[in-house]
């Protein structure tokens, strides 16, 4: 062989992109990536998608941050770590002394490890003394977790990815599964084709899964809650609900039944545009799926002012039909980032410690205070969105943003820029110089997943280990080491002497019932655990399996009555087009990593705007024409693609541009319950730009 075997290494890792959590061996020679070899990972078997297989060259990009950077006027100069950590500790301490601990805010990263999310919350709570900590699940999946925790108690998928394959019926709502969660979509495609599994898709856009579906419905924007409630009412009215399951396991049945009164099929047709016949067909398909119904949903549901309520209506329907507690059934919000589930699970949230243990509980606080030997803050902290507004109100003076390009990923980018520019002191920690770094006083160079040890949690609550492949590039450091350096320099309250992330996990396991039996030994190699994990190591592929109680007070689930509220953004004479947005297969989010992979960049080098043939004809626009898109909040330019995937005045923009991010257009409207931005409620006007 040409290869010199002693330099060739294979290391097990977990994909850094989406929440499916594919794991595989990565073959390397020095810093060169030779190949990816799937090895029967628990979530993916031997499959990967294009990103997992080819999307790793960003690790060696010349754009990587190599040294800490300090702002001097309008430019940045390289400094040593010792000086950088000294500046952070000094500024955080000064701001805390002058304005109190709640003048500081912390954003953890859904791309970082569980251990790093745990340490970020420990830094915020134990060292600084604030609960102002959040992560990007606020931008995507918090409403789904809210729907689940309201009705069943735990904000996690109720079963496993393998269960989806076993279902008789899969219902996909507001999820472009084949592009956003490709390997999971493959399982549905396989089961649909070979096992006769039925597939229903509800979406604004006819994407690949919609093309394959037995039934595709296109509800009006922000109306999913209405058809879900109407279909559930119709099932109940025709006696096809599961009364035995309800009597045994679910509270508030009379209240819920009464709350459904307005949701007739005719009302649902009027609001959603889905014909009564199709609503009845959905109900028939659900009733016929004797072995179980799995509902998959994503940001097409959650990123609305009613995102939590629509997620709740999905849970209500599953409870009414008894589609929980058994294999081949259940609720599957599909988590976006590789570790968006873990970042929340390990406590980077303003109201809970690790394992969703409430900050408001004196007993829980007491447990952490005893372990960390500190006094902890009592009041719930600010979430991401509230932090931005608190800066504008002069209440928040400093932020530490880790692994998050807040400007391109939060809604209403112009407002976010205005806020960040007002901070007294901003630290941004990342692997590249992002848009957010431009507003930083200090930029800290972090290491991507291949340069560190740790664990991630995928969409099915599966905890998996990743092993270090490369040494950190140049002077970059793993995030957990940087957090620890800052904590130590600030006095080290809570105890900071971790030599390895496994020690962080050991501490989290001791303090968190969900992770009681989690250890690096039990996660060795390709071994995995789905939380909750009992002390003896027994894990939970199905939450609430069989006779296991739900995680609400009396062990029962509860129906959650809802009242539909129409969307905040409506089409007007000026802003007369609806702009939907989402992912594309080849890129991840705005493409910070994937545009730096030459092979991927060659396939999909730029963003496009999908418009319908009807709209194209009305406006005299053809594919390839550049247009300006404007909303009341900002403007961008995009290149048109005329396609039947969208219909009428609906348009679709993949969010894969750093220069023209969709968030220049999005508003500050948020989900009424969780403050997740309503990215999908967006009215715009389109003006063709002069032909080039
Ligand atoms: Fe990675 Fe998701 Fe693709 Fe799997 S499906 S390889 S986790 S991006």
Distance (angstroms) between ligand 1 centre and the Cα of 544 equals 27
Residue 647 included in any domain: yes
Instruction: Give a three-class secondary structure readout of 526-579.
Output: CCCEECCCCCCCCCCCCCCCCCCCCCCCCCCEECCCCCCCCCCCCCCCCCCEEE
% of the chain at pLDDT higher than 70: 99
Q: Is residue 260 domain-shared with residue 347, that is, in the same domain? A: no
Backbone angles phi, psi at 8, to 5 degrees: -90, 130
Distance (angstroms) between ligand 1 centre and the Cα of 168 equals 25
Tell me the per-residue pLDDT of 420-453, one tens digit each, with 9 for 90 and over.
999 999 999 999 999 999 999 999 999 999 999 9
Find tokens 């129906």 and name the residue: 559
Residue 551 included in any domain: no
Mutate which of 41, 52, 178 for ligand 1? The one with the most ligand atoms within 8 Å of its CB, which is 52
Q: Is 340 helix (H, G, I), strand (E, B) or coil?
A: helix
Q: Is 293 helix (H, G, I), strand (E, B) or coil?
A: strand
Residue 360 included in any domain: yes
Contact 684, 618 (CB under 8 A): no
Q: Is residue 377 domain-shared with residue 399, that is, in the same domain? A: yes
Residue 335's nearest CA partner among 344, 347, 327 is: 344
C-alpha span between 617 and 608 (Å, rounded): 18
Which residue lies with its CA nearest to atom 4 of ligand 1? 22
Residue 553 included in any domain: no
Q: Is residue 585 domain-shared with residue 667, that is, in the same domain? A: yes
Domain of residue 14 covers 5-60
ipTM score assigned to the predicted complex: 0.99
Q: Beta strands of 583-674 (E only): which ranges?
A: 609-611, 626-631, 634-642, 650-654
Q: Is residue 355 domain-shared with residue 469, that is, in the same domain? A: yes
Residue 524 included in any domain: no
Nearest ligand 1 atom to alpha carbon 182: 5
Distance (angstroms) between ligand 1 centre and the Cα of 650 equals 29
Find tokens 């900590």 and name the residue: 133
Distance (angstroms) between ligand 1 centre and the Cα of 600 equals 14
Query: Cβ neighbours of residue 603 under 8 Å, at least 6 residues apart?
Result: 50, 586
Mutate which of 19, 45, 48 for ligand 1? The one with the most ligand atoms within 8 Å of its CB, which is 48
Last residue of a domain, one of 334, 366, 389: 334
Distance (angstroms) between ligand 1 centre and the Cα of 209 equals 17
Nearest ligand 1 atom to alpha carbon 338: 7
**CATH number for position 241:** 3.40.228.10
Nearest ligand 1 atom to alpha carbon 52: 6
Nearest ligand 1 atom to alpha carbon 49: 3
Residue 627's nearest CA partner among 636, 614, 617, 618 is: 636
Q: Is residue 413 domain-shared with residue 470, that is, in the same domain? A: yes
Residue 546 included in any domain: no
Distance (angstroms) between ligand 1 centre and the Cα of 297 equals 17
Q: Is residue 224 domain-shared with residue 135, that is, in the same domain? A: no
Distance (angstroms) between ligand 1 centre and the Cα of 15 equals 6
Last residue of a domain, one of 513, 547, 564: 513
Contact 680, 298 (CB under 8 A): no
pTM of the entire predicted model: 0.94
Q: Which residues does residue 170 pair with via DSSP β-bridges, in sequence order? A: 199, 294
Residue 571 included in any domain: no
Distance (angstroms) between ligand 1 centre and the Cα of 463 equals 15
**End-to-end C-alpha distance for the chain, whole angstroms:** 52
Residue 239's CB is within 10 A of a number of other CB atoms, namely: 8
Nearest ligand 1 atom to alpha carbon 14: 7
Distance (angstroms) between ligand 1 centre and the Cα of 40 equals 14
Nearest ligand 1 atom to alpha carbon 17: 8
Q: Is residue 167 domain-shared with residue 96, that is, in the same domain? A: no
Distance (angstroms) between ligand 1 centre and the Cα of 53 equals 8
Residues with CB under 6 A from ligand 1: 15, 17-18, 20-22, 44, 48-49, 51-52, 181-183
C-alpha span between 566 and 265 (Å, rounded): 17
Which residue lies with its CA nearest to atom 6 of ligand 1? 52
**CATH number for position 33:** 2.20.25.90
Backbone angles phi, psi at 183, to 5 degrees: -70, -35
pLDDT at 48: 92
Q: How far is CA 214 from CA 201, 226, 506, in A?
A: 8, 21, 47
Mutate which of 13, 14, 15 for ligand 1? The one with the most ligand atoms within 8 Å of its CB, which is 15
Q: Is residue 101 domain-shared with residue 120, that is, in the same domain? A: yes
Residue 531 included in any domain: no
pLDDT at 6: 65
C-alpha span between 451 and 471 (Å, rounded): 6
Residue 432's CB is within 10 A of a number of other CB atoms, namely: 18
Which residue lies with its CA nearest to atom 2 of ligand 1? 18
pLDDT at 1: 45
Q: Is residue 266 domain-shared with residue 297, that is, in the same domain? A: yes
Give the burial class of 313: count Cβ atoms within 10 A of its Cβ; 0-12 exposed, 13-18 middle, 19 or more buried: buried
Number of domains in the chain: 4
pLDDT at 3: 55
Q: Is residue 347 domain-shared with residue 245, that is, in the same domain? A: no
* Residues of the chain where predicted confidence (pLDDT) is lower than 50: 1
Contact 285, 198 (CB under 8 A): yes
Which residue lies with its CA nearest to atom 3 of ligand 1? 49
Q: Is residue 281 domain-shared with residue 156, that is, in the same domain? A: yes
Q: Is residue 163 domain-shared with residue 288, that is, in the same domain? A: yes
**CATH number for position 470:** 3.40.50.740
**CATH number for position 604:** 2.40.40.20
Residue 157's nearest CA partner among 311, 322, 384 is: 311
Residue 633's CB is within 10 A of a number of other CB atoms, namely: 18
Q: Which residues does residue 330 pair with via DSSP β-bridges, in sequence order? A: 294
Contact 85, 376 (CB under 8 A): no
Which residue lies with its CA nearest to atom 1 of ligand 1? 52
Distance (angstroms) between ligand 1 centre and the Cα of 24 equals 10
Last residue of a domain, one of 309, 334, 359: 334
Average pLDDT, the chain: 94
């Amino acid at each position: 062989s040409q290869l010199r075997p002693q330099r060739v290494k294979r290391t097990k890792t977990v994909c850094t992109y989406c929440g499916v959590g594919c794991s595989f061996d990565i073959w390397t020679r020095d810093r060169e990536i030779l190949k990816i070899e799937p090895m029967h990972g628990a979530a993916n078997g031997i499959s990967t998608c294009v990103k997992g297989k080819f999307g790793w060259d960003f690790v060696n990009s010349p754009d990587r941050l190599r040294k800490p950077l300090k702002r001097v006027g309008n430019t940045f100069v390289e400094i040593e770590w010792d000086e950088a950590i000294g500046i952070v500790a000094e500024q955080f301490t000064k701001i805390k002394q002058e304005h109190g601990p709640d003048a500081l805010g912390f954003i953890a990263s859904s791309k970082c490890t569980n251990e790093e999310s745990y340490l970020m919350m420990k830094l915020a709570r134990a060292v600084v003394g604030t609960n102002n900590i959040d992560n990007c699940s606020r931008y995507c999946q918090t409403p789904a977790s809210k729907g689940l925790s309201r009705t069943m108690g735990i904000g996690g998928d109720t079963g496993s990815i393998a269960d989806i394959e076993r279902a008789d019926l899969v219902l996909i709502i507001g999820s472009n599964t084949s592009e956003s969660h490709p390997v999971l979509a493959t399982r549905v495609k396989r089961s649909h084709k070979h096992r006769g599994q039925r597939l229903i898709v509800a979406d604004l856009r006819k994407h690949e899964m919609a093309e394959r579906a037995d039934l595709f419905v296109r509800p009006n924007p922000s109306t999913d809650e209405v058809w879900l409630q109407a279909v559930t009412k119709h099932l109940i009215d025709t006696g096809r609900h599961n009364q035995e399951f309800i009597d045994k396991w679910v509270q508030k049945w009379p209240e819920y039944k009464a709350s459904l009164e307005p949701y007739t099929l005719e009302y649902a047709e009027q609001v959603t545009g889905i014909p009564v016949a199709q609503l009845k067909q959905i109900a028939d398909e659900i009733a016929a799926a004797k072995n179980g119904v799995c509902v998959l949903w994503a940001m097409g549901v959650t990123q609305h002012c009613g995102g939590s309520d629509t997620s709740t209506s999905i849970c209500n329907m599953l409870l009414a039909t008894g589609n929980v507690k058994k294999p081949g059934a259940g609720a599957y919000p599909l988590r976006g980032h590789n570790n968006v589930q873990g970042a929340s699970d390990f406590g980077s949230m303003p109201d809970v410690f690790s394992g969703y243990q409430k900050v408001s509980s004196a007993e829980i606080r007491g447990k952490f205070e005893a372990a960390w030997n500190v006094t902890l803050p009592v009041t719930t902290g600010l979430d991401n969105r509230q932090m931005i507004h608190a800066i504008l109100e002069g209440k928040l003076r400093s932020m530490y943003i880790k692994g998050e390009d807040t400007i391109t990923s939060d809604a209403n980018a112009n407002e976010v820029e205005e806020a960040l520019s007002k901070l007294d002191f901003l630290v941004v920690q990342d692997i590249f110089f992002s848009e957010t770094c431009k507003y930083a006083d200090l930029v800290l160079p972090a290491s991507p997943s291949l340069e560190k040890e740790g664990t991630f949690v995928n969409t099915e609550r599966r905890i998996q280990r990743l092993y270090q492949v490369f040494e950190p590039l140049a002077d970059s450091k793993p995030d957990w080491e940087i957090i620890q350096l800052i904590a130590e320099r600030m006095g080290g309250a809570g105890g900071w002497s971790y030599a390895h992330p496994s020690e962080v996990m050991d501490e989290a396991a001791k303090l968190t019932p969900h992770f009681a039996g989690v250890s690096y030994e039990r996660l060795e190699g390709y071994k995995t655990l789905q939380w909750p994990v009992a002390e003896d190591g027994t894990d939970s592929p199905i939450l609430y399996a069989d006779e296991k109680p739900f995680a609400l007070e009396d062990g029962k689930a509860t129906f959650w009555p809802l009242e539909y509220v129409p969307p905040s953004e409506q089409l007007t004479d000026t802003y007369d087009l609806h702009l939907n947005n989402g992912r594309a297969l080849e890129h991840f989010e705005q493409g910070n990593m994937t545009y730096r992979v030459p092979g991927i960049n060659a396939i999909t080098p730029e963003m496009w705007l999908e418009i319908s043939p009807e709209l194209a004809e009305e406006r005299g626009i053809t594919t390839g024409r550049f247009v300006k898109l404007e909303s009341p909040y900002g403007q961008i330019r995009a290149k048109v693609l005329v396609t039947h995937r969208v219909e009428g005045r609906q348009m679709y923009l993949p969010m894969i541009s750093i220069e023209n991010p969709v968030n220049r257009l999005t508003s500050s409207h948020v989900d009424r319950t969780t403050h997740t931005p309503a990215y999908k409620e967006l009215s715009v006007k389109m003006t063709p730009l002069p032909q080039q």
